[in-house]
Structure 1
Amino acid sequence: MKTKLREFVLSLFPESRNKLVHEGYKSFVYEIISFVNAFIHEQDAISALNGTTGPSVISRWEAPPHPAIKVNFDSAFNQQSSSAISSAIGRNSEGLIMAACAIPHNNVFDAFVAEVVTCKQAVQFAKDMRLINVIIEGDFLTVIKKINVGSHDRSIIAPIIVDIKKLAKKFKAISFYFVRREANKAVHALVRECRSCQVPCYWFEEAPMEASTAADSDRRLLFYAHV
């Protein structure tokens, strides 16, 4: 069985054959775990887009009801350096940017871990802003589902999920939603702009140019939707 599994994964990742020979079993195991995490995320995302997870999935950014603040999050993972960038943008019921941040992280295992670390950072960001009524949105379905489920999580990210749930208790009201990437454009632009950040960066009532442009586009869509 182990041999068949090894050959199956190697058939999916031909480059792993050289790694297994030259770098040993540890590198090979890393390839398997990364593949499984990516596969799970892909299947969850497909289910959501097919409407099998319950409520319809949000496909564009929507303003939160007053007085709530919506915080969207996204991450960028660098496998070569085992690092990641966490980005978050908080906007009010008018679509105006209240604050934004980009935080670098070291010793991040993979993109799966990077996304849950970023979700935790978004909640911490909301807490640091002294918000009490918050909506957290991200486009990584697996993370959102693990936060919303009541049962104990046994995955590699379980300790971070526990931390997020503890932080969530600090708010008067907080909810977590999965959205399509189209509804996460502004923070996606922010994380793209801040890939090279070496220190935490914060902005208040503004954001870097690409992120601001995307947020303005979201605001215009809000206006047209109500015309």
Structure 2
Amino acid sequence: MPTFANLQHRHLQVRNTCPLCESAADTVAHMIFSCPIVLQILASVGLPPVPAIQNPDVSEDFISWFIQLSKGYQLLISITYWSAWFARNRLVHEGSACSILKSATFIRALFLELESIQQLPVPVQTTNAIKWVPPHGDIIKMNFDASFNISLNSSVSGIVSRDSQGLLMAACTYPHTGITDSFAAEANAYSLTIIKKLNSPTLDKSVISPIIRDILSLKTSFDNITFSFVARSGNASAHEMAKLGRQFGEARYWIEEAPASVEQLILRERPT
């Protein structure tokens, strides 16, 4: 029968071992240069292993190597190691196993999102919040947003349709299952990255290309359709629909009406 001292010794040994691979000491140097799980994640996102560094001062040599890289590589490497560290902590504190596929998918998606944000012009600071803008003529405008539930790997899209006078035509909440991260949830609600890709003349080859192809295939069902991005302040009613949709287990539809809290927001957003 193991004694308390033996159990304590075994506990200390577990804590001193890398929780991801359980094959070496849990050190910064091991995680950066030699942890097989981290190396597999690096390979999955198209990154080579970090060159072996002999100097005992790992941090100084790593930084020297890092600052010589392009900004794109710096961003991708930073996201990858942050994701690996997050996976390590989830394993230690929550017992959640590390999925290389999910980690790689999340890293590539976040990289694309951050790159898109960096390419945007810096907005001029104003005191007025962005407001909902009505469409012209007989065009119907549909606003989208999404709410993500990380514990259930699911999301809900909230949709609000209005005419040129700001009158409510229809509203909907639609659930999605098997969502692996918040980026995929936002993709279901046409986030900024999706909008840019839908309006691009080039063929998308990113991790979210299946979503782009699905949307473009449905585009042919409309006589005319355009895609644009709006900040949260100009999308309040759709955001509220997405939050309310988490209460339902199935899709819900409203014609010329919506839940009371959404109708109040729509009334405030109507043009005067």
Relative to the length of structure 2, the TM-score reads 0.63
Write the distance in 2 (CA, Å) between the matches of 1:68 and 1:191. Answer: 23
Asked if 1:167 corresponds to 2:238, the answer is: no
Give the root-mean-square deviation of aligned CA atoms.
2.9
Residue 110 of structure 1 is matched in structure 2 by 181
Q: Within 5 Å, give how 1:1-227 maps onto structure 2.
A: 3-4=31-32, 6=38, 9=80, 14-19=85-90, 23-26=96-99, 30-31=102-103, 33-45=105-117, 47-48=119-120, 50-51=122-123, 59-119=130-190, 140-219=191-270, 222-223=271-272
Distance of 2:165 and 2:90 partners within structure 1: 52
Look up the SS of the partner of 2:184 in the other structure: helix
Q: Answer with 1 or 2: which has the greater Rg.
A: 2
Write the distance in 2 (CA, Å) between the matches of 1:164 and 1:45.
Answer: 22
What is the deviation of 1:48? 3.2
Q: Does the aligned pair in 1 maintain the 2:160–2:171 contact within 8 Å?
A: yes
Instruction: Rate the CA distance shift 1:197–1:172 in 2: closer, same or farther, 3 A.
Output: same
Q: CA deviation at 1:16?
A: 2.7
Cα distance between partner residues in 2 of 1:24 and 1:155: 26
Which blocks of at least 5 consecutive residues in structure 1 are unaligned?
53-57, 120-139
Deviations 1:26-71 (A, max 9, x none): 1x6534543553354245335436159xxxxx93210000100000
- Contact residue 74 and residue 115 of structure 1 kept, 8 A: yes
Aligned residue identity for 2:158:
S
**Does structure 1 conserve the Cα–Cα contact (< 8 Å) formed by 2:108 and 2:207?**
no
Partner of 1:131: none
Contact 2:109–2:208 under 8 Å retained in 1: no
Question: After TM superposition, what 4+ stretches of structure 1 lie above 6 angstroms from structure 2?
Answer: none
36 and 114 in structure 1: CA distance in 2 versus 1, 3 angstrom threshold:
same
Structure 2 CA distance for partners of 1:151 and 1:10, relative to 1, 3 Å: closer
1:214 aligned counterpart, secondary structure:
helix
Identity %: 31
1:195-224 deviations in whole A, cap 9, x for unaligned? 1210110001011122111111111xx21x
